[in-house]
Chain A
Amino acid sequence: MSEPTGVIHDIGYRHYEGVRLGRRHAAVALAVHSLRGVFGLGRTARAKIIPFLLVGVMMLPAVVSIAVMALLQREAMTYPSYAVTMQAVLAIFLASQSPYTVAPDLRFRVLPLYLSRPVTLGDYVGAKLAAMITAMFLLLAVPLTVLYIGELIIDMPGPPHTSAYLTSMAGAVVYAALLACVGVAIASFTPRRGLGVASVIAFYLLTSAVSAIIAATMEETNNYAASSWAWLINPFFLVDAAVQVGLFGAAPSAPGAYPPGAGVVVALLLVAGLIALSVTALILRYRKAASR
């Protein structure tokens, strides 16, 4: 009988003995990492071009409005109409960046790696959503705030439009929540970034075109009640009708009026329902992705 020859060498791997920061810290780190990634920070220079270009376009009306106020002493743009006016840019930003937050992890099947850490599935989805919501909010809130600061500095005749600014900021929160939830949910259904971008923009283009066409046709036949409901198909007008007009009494930014009375309640319920539906779809989608 020969002696056993196998030897286990101690090659000096050391255990981690520092502080374990735990689940919450991991989720926050994931959210911050995703938020930076949405704007291309920490990614290649080429990934920064599109987000920063779109941020620049979003800033344009604020800068032009400040210039008009300073030179002509005239108001150029109201706060609550900012998001509706720039809806195409917001939609392109949402479409181009929300697939980034979800597609690579799905495509390279790294979800089990995340879930092997203290992060749970809910934390993962929550962190990704929080990142996209924050990004959309910043995209809208920064130009609004710049515009407000500009208005305060220029000191136009008459009181500053503080309540209009606050209304638009409340609107920005709901815009960000609704758009980000729907965008990330749609994008999560395909691991391909290109198809994700196309799907999210298709959602925006379909809803906005269908709403405009039905509303215009109804107005032609003098059915103004139906046309006011048709505007709510467009998510941007939906939030405007629910929050900025419904809750805070701003002037509608759609080309026509919104449904009065019960319309506000329905619009609010629709916003909440869409967000709930998107989050549920996301969680179901990730349950399936995590089990593979």
Chain B
Amino acid sequence: MNGVIAAISYRALLGRRRIWLLILLPLVLLGLAILLRALGVASETTTITLMEKFALGTMLPLLGLIAGTGVIAPEIDDGTVVHLLAKPISRPAIARTKFLVAASMLALFAAVPTFVATYLLVDLESGIAYGFALGALAGGVAYAAVFMLLGVLTRHAVTIGIAYALLWEGLVGNFVPGARKFSIQQWAQTVADQVSTSPFLSADITIGFAATALVLVTVVTVVAAGRRLRSFSLTGDE
């Protein structure tokens, strides 16, 4: 952990236009929740559909992408990352700090709005609100770690990230059931299912596998990002 690097990363994320995208996504979730509540269709099933499809399926990967790549990719793009890497700070510590910044953004912009939106719809019924908030937090942390590693590895991190989230988790996951085992979104849903007692929520992965996979993916990608930074060479843009 390094306070200065954390402060710089926060400023890069919050000070520019990026912040509007980070605010817009949870606002749409809250707007949908208020709309469904006003229409009087706030049942347990619609809440679970909204949370699975929108909160975990759309908002979470997007926020993970924006925060995860946002902490490191712009600096690499600008070339200012060399000033950071030239300082006598251990590179794995830089990676850990930037990961913690991205993870905290996801807790604030994904997990908290998910809890509030679920609470607006069904109160604390069957523990759905706690379940999805925890699922969003766990999934968000894993997304932040994976997308930060992508940001260090390639300049096309955002494109590859959306291709993973849309094509692998969306399309392939629908046709090939086996692909669902290797999807952060499904792991997050499993966590949500484990915490809530609602009979309408079901996941096809065991919590043991999902929890292990979430922890493993997060730790391995953060360590890999640190190792990659140690031997980082800045290649010129086209």
Interface, chain A (partner B; CB < 8 A): 43-44, 46-47, 50, 57, 88-89, 91-92, 95-96, 189-190, 192-195, 197-199, 201-202, 205-206, 209-210, 212-214, 216-217, 220-221
Tell me the smallest distance from the CB of A36 to a CB of chain B, in Å. Answer: 13
Contacting residue for B74 out of A192, A209, A221, CB 8 A: A192
Closest 10 CB pairs of A and B: A96-B159, A197-B158, A209-B58, A194-B158, A44-B238, A88-B166, A201-B162, A205-B58, A194-B73, A198-B66
The answer to whether the Cβ of B101 comes within 8 Å of any Cβ in the partner chain is no
- A214: which B residues are within 8 A, CB to CB? 32, 35
In angstroms, Cα B13 to Cα A192, docked, is 13
The answer to whether the Cβ of B36 comes within 8 Å of any Cβ in the partner chain is yes
Asked whether B46 lies within 8 Å of A210 as measured between CB atoms, the reply is no
Tell me the smallest distance from the CB of B86 to a CB of chain A, in Å. Answer: 23
The answer to whether the Cβ of B173 comes within 8 Å of any Cβ in the partner chain is no
Q: How many residues of B contact A (CB 8 A)?
A: 39
The answer to whether the Cβ of B49 comes within 8 Å of any Cβ in the partner chain is yes
Given the known A-B contacts A43-B238, A50-B156, A213-B32, are A92 and B53 also in contact in the complex, defined by CB atoms under 8 Å? no
- B62: which A residues are within 8 A, CB to CB? 198, 201-202, 205
Tell me the smallest distance from the CB of A128 to a CB of chain B, in Å. Answer: 18
Q: List 21 A-B contacts (CB under 8 A).
A: A46-B238, A50-B159, A88-B167, A88-B171, A91-B166, A92-B159, A92-B167, A96-B162, A192-B74, A193-B77, A194-B157, A195-B70, A198-B158, A198-B162, A202-B24, A206-B58, A210-B32, A210-B54, A213-B53, A214-B32, A217-B46
Q: Name the residue among A91, A197, A214 with the largest chain B CB count within 10 angstroms.
A: A197
The answer to whether the Cβ of B50 comes within 8 Å of any Cβ in the partner chain is yes
Not counting A92-B162, A213-B49, a sample of 10 additional A-B residue pairs whose C-beta atoms are within 8 angstroms of each other reads A91-B166, A190-B17, A192-B74, A193-B77, A195-B66, A198-B158, A202-B21, A213-B50, A216-B49, A221-B41
Tell me the smallest distance from the CB of B101 to a CB of chain A, in Å. Answer: 16
Residue of chain B at shortest CB distance from A189: B17
- B162: which A residues are within 8 A, CB to CB? 92, 95-96, 197-198, 201
Residue of chain A at shortest CB distance from B45: A220
Asked whether B28 lies within 8 Å of A194 as measured between CB atoms, the reply is no
Residue of chain B at shortest CB distance from A93: B159
- A197: which B residues are within 8 A, CB to CB? 158-159, 162
